[in-house]
Amino acid sequence: MQLIYVQTDRCLGCRTCEIQCRVEHAEEKNLFAAIRQIHPPKKRLFIEQQGKVKAPILCHHCDDSPCMAACITGSLYRDEHGIVQRKDELCIGCWSCIMACPFGVVARDADVHVAVKCDRCPDREIPACVASCPTKALRLVDADQLSKERRQEILFRGSSLAE
Amino acid sequence: MEYLIVGGSIAAASALTAIRKNTPQAEVRVVADEPVPFYYRPLIPYLLDGSRTADEILFAEHPPTVLGAELLHDQCIGVESKQHLVRLRSGRELRYGKLLLAAGGAPVMLLDDLPGAKSEGVFALRSLDDAVKIRQYLLHCKTVAIIGGGLVGIKAAEALFRAGLSVTVIEQQPHILALRADSFAADAIAERLRSKGMTLLTEEDSEEIVTSAGKVNTLRLASGRTVTADMVILAVGVKPNIDFLKNAGLEIEHGIVVNQQMQSSVPDIYAAGDLIQFIDQADGKTVVSGLWSNAVHSGRVAGCCMSGGRAVLPPLLSVMNSTEIAGLPLLSAGVLDDPQGRYTVFAEACGNSYRKLLFDQNRLVGMIFLGQTERAGVYANLIRCQIPLEKSRREQLVREVMGAIKRV
């Protein structure tokens, strides 16, 4: 399964990902139409800051997802790619998923009265946040590939020390 | 090994899913007393005004069909644990290898001795069938009295109000939603409901349901007041459905006593959902609760452990509710009020928003968010997992929550 990996040391907190997330979830996928929509689209990831560290916080599509366990309407489900998705028409806006998410990444769209969360951009190969990040702080990676990368990194450091 | 599940709702469904993960082939039977497919019970108030139909609240995939289990629409009336046997209402007896009790809750019928409680036009609201009956009956009604101002009562009141009835809610406690909100939040909600045109009476006891020609006509209260009502709905509360277990030899206090693997005190009998008791992580009390997510978790753990897997019950709360009433989201978790002055309480109200945090020394133990939902889950999980917070972290939390009534 692919994960969105955040390298916090690269994040400037520029919020490009937040904007592109909104644009991607607009009716017409461009900024000018998005801001003029009657109910502007909501973002599904959140830049947060603690001290000097900034980072986007986004849905982990948890294996044992508390939002799905809390959903009382069957609106939240896991699709064939392992992504936790929502069926709009079933959501009644009870916000149980917001209450359940320990990461705080399910948001309330009060205008249309549904909960919104990351859907990994089903219309795109690379999610909008990842594609737009100017510093590549966000990357779409394979979990196994990531472990391999980290091992290689350690090896690289070791070998450069030896030299 | 034969598995038998008594119960036809979400705890049974999650247990069945978990059992199937471990044992794709084993024989599983489900005994459910309601003669309908699995449905999302919290949605039944939405049937009253027709905003959902009965078909729309069914599970998209019927668990017994998808997961391959035999479903019997029957009622369990007794368990013979020594013979590994369950007796059913129809007279049938079923043997089991492992038994899961997930029969849920039953509406409290405290009011059975209320004169007139058996007459035509008096309903409970617990099952799909109840909701369908109310929906049919309300076509002949103009006024309705709802006894009980808890979540079910208020949800029913809103639905019936939308359906065009004149609604009166009667609550014994000084404020509505006694288990889901403190007096400030409850009063704010009550105010909004009243301004829409509903009547809410608090600190009132029902004394008699007056009938005319066998049908409900008026509700007489202990204070002498009378409420005109063509229909009365009892929404007093729910208790664990454990009466049928009297002779089973299970240890039962408030609910069935289970360990972290959901095993009861009798070998090969497990329990999950609304009928178990567990420890509330907020205040350490032993409680029973009817929360959907608790039923999902306990059902999953029971199913997993029954079929040879390993799992433990995650920390749970008896109050971890989220709902929208009168157009305002109300999210509450843990301890909601502090009459004895045990906790450090922070609260702030502004316009339609109200936020409250309660700390017990270095732990967050309670929260109420009214009108705003932002990051509520983060705080609820601090309570649920009993995360210790340093002073600086606590101060920051309070600043985050109190300082920012509207964050964009």
Q: What domains are there in chain B, each with its CATH number?
A: 2-107+240-306 (3.50.50.60), 110-236 (3.50.50.60), 328-403 (3.30.390.30)
Q: Give B408's pLDDT tier (boundaries 50, 70, 90).
A: very low
Query: Residue A108 corresponds to which tokens in the numbers above?
Result: 């309330």
Summarize pLDDT for B274-317 with one digit per residue, the tens. 999 999 999 999 999 999 999 999 999 999 999 999 999 999 99
Q: Are residues A125 and A155 in the same domain?
A: yes
Q: Are residues A49 and A72 in the same domain?
A: no
Q: Are residues A52 and A4 in the same domain?
A: yes
Contact map slice: A 3-62 vs B, CB within 8 A: none
Query: Residue B96 corresponds to which tokens in the numbers above?
Result: 């089991």
Report CB contact under 8 Å: B296, A73: no
Of A88, A6, A92, the residue nearest A47 (C-alpha):
A6
Show the domain range for A104. Answer: 63-117
- What separation in angstroms does the CA of B24 have from each of A22, B67, B270, B271, B331? 43, 9, 20, 21, 39
Range with the poorest average pLDDT among B108-112, B225-229, B248-252, B381-385: B108-112
Query: Minimal Cα distance from B297: which residue of A?
Result: A69
Q: Residue B17 and residue B34: Cα distance in Å, rounded?
A: 20
Query: Residue B258 corresponds to which tokens in the numbers above?
Result: 């289970």
Q: Are residues A110 and A150 in the same domain?
A: no
Q: Residue A7 and residue A15: Cα distance in Å, rounded?
A: 15
Report CB contact under 8 Å: A92, B43: yes
CB count in 10 Å sphere of residue A159? 9
CB B157 within 8 A of CB B198: yes
Residue A128 φ then ψ, to 5°: -60, -40
Q: Chain B closest CA to A38's CA: distance in Å?
A: 17
Burial class (CB in 10 A: 0-12, 13-18, 19+), B145: buried
pLDDT at residue B262 above 80?
yes
Residue B232 φ then ψ, to 5°: -125, 130
Report CB contact under 8 Å: B292, A94: no
Summarize pLDDT for A103-148 with one digit per residue, the tens. 999 999 999 999 999 999 999 999 999 999 999 999 999 988 888 9
Domain final residue, candidates A101, A117, A133: A117
Mean pLDDT per segment of 10 residues, for chain A of length 163 residues? 91 96 94 91 93 93 94 95 93 95 94 94 95 96 89 87 73
Query: For an interface test with B, which of A60, A84, A98 has the most B Cβ atoms less than 10 Å from its Cβ?
Result: A98
Q: Give B404's pLDDT tier (boundaries 50, 70, 90).
A: low
pLDDT number for residue B324: 94
- Specify the number of domains making up chain A: 2
| Domain harbouring A7, CATH code | 3.30.70
Q: Are residues A14 and A91 in the same domain?
A: no
pLDDT number for residue B85: 92
pLDDT number for residue B157: 97
Average pLDDT over every residue of B163-185: 94
Q: Are residues A73 and A95 in the same domain?
A: yes
pLDDT number for residue B14: 96
| Domain harbouring A70, CATH code | 3.30.70.20
Contacts of A97 in chain B (CB under 8 A): 377
Q: Are residues A5 and A54 in the same domain?
A: yes
Touching check for A98 and chain B: CB below 8 Å?
A: yes
pLDDT at residue B113 above 90?
no
- Among the partner residues B59, B293, B373, nearest to A108 by beta-carbon distance: B373
Touching check for B172 and chain A: CB below 8 Å?
A: no
Q: Are residues A83 and A49 in the same domain?
A: no
Q: What does pLDDT average to over chain B?
A: 92
Residue with tokens 């959901």: B262
Element (H, E) at B232: strand B231-234
Touching check for A122 and chain B: CB below 8 Å?
A: no
Element (H, E) at B354: strand B353-360
Q: Are residues A80 and A153 in the same domain?
A: no
Report CB contact under 8 Å: B322, A92: no
pLDDT number for residue A45: 95
Summarize pLDDT for B27-53 with one digit per residue, the tens. 999 999 999 999 999 999 999 999 999
Pairing of strands B27-32, B2-6: parallel
Query: Residue B53 corresponds to which tokens in the numbers above?
Result: 């139909």
Q: Are residues A74 and A149 in the same domain?
A: no
Residue B201 φ then ψ, to 5°: -110, 120
Contacts of A102 in chain B (CB under 8 A): 377-378, 381
Q: Residue B400 and residue B299: Cα distance in Å, rounded?
A: 36
Q: Are residues A89 and A48 in the same domain?
A: no
Q: Are residues A1 and A52 in the same domain?
A: yes
